[in-house]
Structure 1
Amino acid sequence: MKINLVMENKLIRYHAHRLERLLILLSACMLLSCSEDRLNEYDTSRTALNIAKGTIFGSASLYPEEYTFNAYFLGGDIHDYLLHIPVRLQGVIDNNRDRTYKVKVVTSESTGLTEGLYTLAEEQVFRKGMAQDSIRLTIHINRMDEEQNYKMRIALVPTADFQAGIAEYQYMDISFTKNLSIAPAFWENNSKLRRLPYNARKCAVFLQISGITDPNWKDDGQSVILEYWITRCIQWFEEHEEYDATGNRIYFDQ
Structure 2
Amino acid sequence: MTTDISTGMEQADVHEEIQPGDPSTEVEAPVVEDTAVKALNAVLIRAAVANRNAERFNKVDEAAKADVVRVLGRKGSLPVMNPLNADEEFVQITVSKLTYTAKVVDPSASKEWVKERYADKVEKQTRLMPGTTEQHVFNVLKQFAPYLLEEVDVVPDHVINELALKSRLAQRPMGFGGEVGVDAPPGIVVEPSAPKVYVTFRNPSVVDDLIVSGIVDMEGNMLGGDE
TM-score surpassing 0.5? no
- Computing the radius of gyration from Cα coordinates, the structure with the larger value is 2
Determine which structure has greater relative contact order: mean sequence separation of CA pairs < 8 Å that are 6+ residues apart, divided by chain length: 2
